[in-house]
Amino acid sequence: MQNVVADLAALGRFDEGQDWIAKLLKLAPDGSGSYEAAGFYAWFISGRLDEAVAWFSQALARDPGSTRFLKNLGLVYLDLGDPIEARRWLHRSIVLGPESLDANVGMQLLELYRGSEAEALEHARAALALDPLLGPGVGALEFLRDHALATGRSPEAEALYRTGYPELFGDVPAVDRRNYRAAID
């Protein structure tokens, strides 16, 4: 059902998306995923950041060990311009899950926000090591690639792309929805 909500939003049918969120919450009032979906809708579609905080807090209350929900809260606080509160949630995420992709991505973004490039690079490397194929989807690979290119290490940038997008380096590159931007690079 969460995919239906995303599809409706992509089509500009926002009121219907809100209706589906209400259905999700009614069908699974104890499930954390329904509250996460409501949080994403409030955050990305409606732009109601305070409401997103409330939804993600409810998701976290139902699954207190979720590094993903902690990351979401932290990133909403970054969007709200509150790096102190963002750090509180993102730090808790990395403490709970130092081997969590979500926790490392959240910390990477926080450190970029703070201007701490070395720490951001550390978390981006950790995220990419945890999941080389998902790393591009969360921006870790692109950040590391840009850093390698900016510091004159183009072979390293190419190696990152070979790891994250192996399908682009075959005899016949397979370009798809996930990798088309990398193919253009």
- Domain borders along the chain are 1-58, 65-116, 131-185
Q: Which of 67, 78, 38 is nearest to 54 (CA)?
A: 38
Contact 111, 129 (CB under 8 A): no
Place of tokens 């720490």: 119
> Terminal CA-to-CA distance of the chain, rounded, Å?
34
Contact 89, 73 (CB under 8 A): yes
User: Which overall architecture, per CATH, does domain 1-58 show?
Assistant: Alpha Horseshoe (1.25)
> How many Å apart are CA 115 and CA 112, to the nearest integer?
5
> How many Å apart are CA 111 and CA 38, to the nearest integer?
27
Q: What is the pLDDT along the chain (185 residues), one digit of tens a residue?
A: 667 877 888 888 888 888 988 998 999 899 898 899 899 999 988 899 999 999 999 999 999 999 999 999 999 999 999 999 999 999 999 999 999 999 999 999 999 999 999 999 999 999 988 887 765 566 888 889 889 999 999 999 889 888 888 888 889 988 888 777 777 77
Tokens of 182: 């990398």
Q: Which of 50, 106, 102, 46 is nearest to 74 (CA)?
A: 106
Chain centroid, CA 7 distance in Å: 19
